């Protein structure tokens, strides 16, 4: 019996209803179906008052999800998509992402188009688009105390009401650089349209094998975004007396102390998107972010009498 999965945002009634409806429909078509919420991929935040511990990415897979699963449907917004890939990437399960949220930049289709999309998937009429993911680790005394699988970006920044931060950053074998800023972003091409874009970084098409470093509010005209090969690991040494906060994909994070290190490197796992239509990144940029829209000319001046 073929296997499929459904991951949904359980705080949205429309996603809950759709999950139950499509579970019953797929079972009626002879499929074994496993359900899970996206909460399992939200790692939460470490607590300074408790021993820091972490869950390895391989342990985040929901019950019933495994490498034998043909595909899974994600019902939610971009946050649910990020969480779902963190849950299933180690199994290599392709995801059909369905927007029940707002922006839906990472989603492939909408809920009202899901019947046609499912029909295409069951018939095998789709393409897979693989996106780079990175592993983010907080290291203390040579021990990994926290880690996460990241599809968008890692952000390391100061806490509120603290002074500007200094970061010593080493990319691969290259000499370390010093950056003074409110924080730094390390993003994948997928994340280049998220926080990195808001911080002034370039948009990178998903097929380019690079990562980017973007300083947040740097205290130098020379500190600008840097793009480098994703084969290069990145190590960040916080050169501060105060602790910092690290956030991954906007929904998980930990404190980083002055003696800690943060290590980012390309993950052996990738995010596999099911595409009903051939991937067209520029169309998504135009539709979601307004990139490349035709210029509207100024009105002609009116001659006064």
- The domain spans of the chain are 3-131+269-289, 133-268
Strand order in 210-216's β-sheet?
44-45, 252-256, 244-248, 153-158, 183-187, 210-216, 226-229
The pLDDT of residue 303:
59
Q: What digits encode the pLDDT tens for the residues 134-152?
A: 999 999 999 888 888 999 9
Q: How far apart are CA 295 and CA 216, in angstroms?
A: 30
Q: Which CATH superfamily is domain 133-268 in?
A: Probable inorganic polyphosphate/atp-NAD kinase; domain 2 (2.60.200.30)
Tens digits of per-residue pLDDT, 66-107? 999 999 999 999 999 999 999 999 999 999 999 997 778 899
pLDDT given for residue 72 in this prediction = 98
The residue-averaged pLDDT of 101-124 equals 91
Q: Is 78 a catalytic residue?
A: yes
21: pLDDT strictly greater than 60: yes
Enumerate residues 6+ apart whose C-beta is below 8 A from 101. 9, 12, 76, 77, 78, 79, 80, 107
Q: 118: which residues sit within 8 A by CB, 6+ positions away?
A: 22, 25, 26, 73, 96
Q: Which amino acids are annotated as binding site, given as ranges? A: 78-79, 152-153, 182, 193-198, 251
Q: What is the pLDDT of residue 19?
A: 96
Binding site, annotated residues for NAD(+): 78-79, 152-153, 182, 193-198, 251
Average pLDDT on 279-293 reads 84
Between 186 and 301, the higher pLDDT residue: 186
Q: Quick check: do 3-131+269-289 and 133-268 share a fold?
A: no
Catalytic residue among 24, 47, 49, 78: 78
| Confidence (pLDDT) at 28 | 96
pLDDT for 174-221, tens place per residue? 999 999 999 999 999 999 999 999 999 999 999 999 999 999 999 888
HSE on the CB side for 302, CA within 13 Å?
2
What number of CA atoms fall less than 13 Å from residue 267's CA on the CB side?
27
pLDDT class of 64 with cuts at 50, 70, 90:
very high
Looking at residue 278, its pLDDT comes to 85
Of 160 and 204, the one with more pLDDT: 204
What CATH number is given for 3-131+269-289 in this structure? 3.40.50.10330
Is residue 117 within 8 Å of 100, Cβ to Cβ? Answer: no
Q: pLDDT band at 158, cuts 50/70/90? A: confident
Whole-number average pLDDT of the chain: 89
The whole model's pTM is what?
0.89
CA-wise closest residue to 244 among 257, 260, 262, 259: 257
């Amino acid at each position: 019996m073929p296997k499929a999965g459904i991951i949904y945002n359980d705080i949205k009634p429309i996603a809950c209803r759709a999950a139950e409806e499509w579970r019953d429909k797929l079972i009626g078509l002879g499929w074994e179906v496993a359900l899970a919420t996206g909460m399992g991929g939200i790692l939460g935040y470490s607590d300074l008052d408790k021993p820091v511990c972490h869950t390895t990415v391989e342990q985040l897979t929901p019950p019933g999800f495994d490498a034998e699963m043909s595909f899974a449907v994600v019902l939610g917004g971009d946050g649910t998509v990020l969480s779902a890939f963190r849950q299933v990437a180690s199994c290599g399960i392709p995801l059909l992402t369905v927007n029940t949220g707002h922006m839906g930049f990472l989603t492939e289709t909408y809920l009202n188009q899901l019947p046609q999309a499912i029909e295409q998937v069951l018939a095998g009429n789709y393409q897979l688009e693989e996106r780079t993911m990175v592993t983010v680790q907080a290291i203390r005394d040579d021990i990994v105390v926290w880690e996460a699988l990241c599809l968008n970006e890692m952000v390391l920044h100061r806490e509120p009401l603290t002074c500007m931060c200094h970061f010593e950053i080493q990319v691969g074998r290259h000499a370390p650089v010093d950056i003074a800023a409110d924080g730094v972003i390390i993003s994948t091409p997928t994340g280049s349209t998220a926080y990195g874009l808001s911080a002034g970084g370039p948009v990178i098409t998903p097929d380019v094998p690079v990562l980017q470093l973007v300083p947040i509010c740097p205290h130098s005209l020379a500190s600008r975004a840097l793009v480098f090969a994703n084969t290069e690991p990145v190590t960040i040494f916080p050169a501060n007396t105060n602790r910092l906060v690290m956030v991954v994909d906007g929904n998980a994070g930990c404190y980083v102390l002055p003696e800690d290190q943060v290590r980012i490197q390309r993950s052996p796992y990738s995010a596999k998107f099911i595409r009903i239509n051939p991937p067209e990144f520029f169309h998504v940029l135009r539709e979601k972010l307004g990139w490349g829209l035709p210029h509207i000319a100024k009105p002609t001046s009116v001659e006064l009498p």
